[in-house]
Amino acid sequence: MAEARAASAPVLTTHELTRRFGGLIAVSNVSLSLHQGELHAVIGPNGAGKTTLVNMLSGQIRPTAGRIALEGREVAGEPVWRMTRLGVGRSFQRTNIFPSLSVEENVRLAAQAVCKLRRNPFKPARREADLIEKAHNALQRVGLGGVTTRLAGTLSHGEQRQLEIAMTLAGDPKVLLLDEPLAGMGPEESQRLTSLLKGLAREHAVLLIEHDMDFVFAVADWMTVMAEGAVLAEGTPAAIRANAVVQEAYLGGHA
Ligand SMILES: Nc1ncnc2c1ncn2[C@@H]1O[C@H](COP(=O)(O)OP(=O)(O)O)[C@@H](O)[C@H]1O
Ligand SMILES: [Mg+2]
């Protein structure tokens, strides 16, 4: 929402963020801001640089140039473990779900990994209780509160994606980076994820990359359109839908 946008300080901003691979400029001077309580979708055709952008925000790859500020602190080029510790959580398309462990154990392990990074000062007994509570909260939030004892490998594809998001949430991220969370989901599961993401966006700054335009326009509060590495346009879904340049370059018959 444009009004909420102006009112809240951004959680994360990029300034002229750039990444080259040899002679190719995958991401070119991208400046954007992610706000608490806002679901920010980044769209653009294949090869536009969306995943490369996320990889820089999560610490997977180093920017060639430009800045990333997390709550005002310069973090460009920091490695993944540090980004995680500082509160940037990323859900992967195929994360390390342990299929033979229970749903709860998977989330507890994820929470434990982040606690270690943060050098959680709790005594061991307290820490264990804290981790279990974190795991349960995260599972509740993604709608898996009823299946905590199931083996992760027995969950449906969609439920496994929900579990991956719970594993990311267990680390208490400020920023949630989601790269194509709907991939491979059926309509019913997509519907479930839509309401889940809307809920999560109230408490986190969410960056979502997604191909499914019906989904994107239904959930996004703010959109950035990328093409050939650069930002083509940004604005509310309504403004993006009406943007002639975007329509011509990308949306085609979709708008
Ligand atoms: N590790 C890499 N090495 C070389 N080129 C890459 C690498 N990663 C991405 N690219 C190139 O950067 C461009 C942007 O890719 P990507 O960020 O994956 O786009 P998107 O996610 O929008 O489809 C593409 O031309 C891609 O081939
Ligand atoms: Mg991609």
Band (pLDDT 50/70/90 cuts) for residue 122 is: low
Torsion angle in degrees (nearest 10) through CA of 219, 136, 84, 174 = 40
- 57 CB under 6 A from ligand 1? no
Band (pLDDT 50/70/90 cuts) for residue 6 is: low
Residue matched to tokens 């700054």: 205
Burial of 7 (0-12, 13-18, 19+ CB in 10 A): exposed
pTM: 0.91
68 and 75 Cβ atoms separated by less than 8 Å: yes
Tokens of 245: 């340049």
Range with the poorest average pLDDT among 42-46, 48-52, 85-89, 196-200: 196-200
Atom of ligand 1 nearest to the CA of 52: 17
For 130, list phi and psi in degrees, rounded to 5. -65, -40
Q: For residue 126, how far is its CA from the centre of ligand 1 (angstroms)?
A: 44
Range with the poorest average pLDDT among 8-12, 98-102, 147-151: 8-12
Band (pLDDT 50/70/90 cuts) for residue 22 is: very high
Residue 126 has pLDDT above 60, yes or no: yes
User: DSSP letters along 184-219, please?
Assistant: T--HHHHHHHHHHHHHHHHHSEEEEE-S-HHHHHHH
- 48 CB under 6 A from ligand 1? yes
Q: What is the mean pLDDT of residues 98-104?
A: 96
pLDDT tens digits, 219-232: 999 999 999 999 99
Band (pLDDT 50/70/90 cuts) for residue 123 is: low
- Does residue 235 come out as left (phi exceeding 0), alpha (psi in the -120 to 50 range) or beta? left
- 10 CB under 6 A from ligand 1? no
CA–CA gap between residue 255 and residue 252 (Å, rounded): 7
Predicted local confidence at residue 1, as pLDDT: 47
Question: Which residues, at least 6 apart from 121, have a Cβ–Cβ distance to it below 8 Å?
Answer: none
Q: Mean pLDDT across the chain, nearest whole number?
A: 89
For the chain, residues classed under CATH 3.40.50.300 are 1-87+174-255
Q: What is the mean pLDDT of residues 202-231?
A: 93
Q: Ligand 2 (ion): which residues have CB within 5 A?
A: 50-51
Query: Residue with the nearest Cα to atom 5 of ligand 1?
Result: 21
- Top mutation candidate among 18, 19, 20, 21 for ligand 1, by most atoms within 8 Å of CB: 21
Question: Which residues, at least 6 apart from 231, have a Cβ–Cβ distance to it below 8 Å?
Answer: 29, 30, 31, 32, 224, 225
Residue 160 has pLDDT above 60, yes or no: yes
Name the 3-class secondary structure at 116.
helix
Of 111 and 28, more confident: 28
- Print burial letters for 55-80: b (CB count within 10 Å at least 16), e (below 16): bbbbbebebeebebbbeeeebbebee
Which residues, in sequence order, are bridge partners of residue 35? 10
Residue 3 has pLDDT above 60, yes or no: no
Question: Which residues, at least 6 apart from 19, have a Cβ–Cβ distance to it below 8 Å?
Answer: 25, 26, 27, 49, 52, 53, 56, 61, 63, 64
pLDDT tens digits, 108-121: 999 988 877 776 66
Element (H, E) at 15: strand 10-21
Predicted local confidence at residue 2, as pLDDT: 47
Top-level class of domain 1-87+174-255 = alpha beta
Predicted local confidence at residue 121, as pLDDT: 62
Band (pLDDT 50/70/90 cuts) for residue 239 is: very high
195 and 211 Cβ atoms separated by less than 8 Å: no
Distances (CA, A) of 96 to 60, 108, 161, 174, 190: 16, 13, 11, 21, 22
Q: For residue 51, how far is its CA from the centre of ligand 2 (angstroms)?
A: 4
Residue matched to tokens 């959109």: 223
- 161 CB under 6 A from ligand 1? no
Tokens of 239: 């403004």
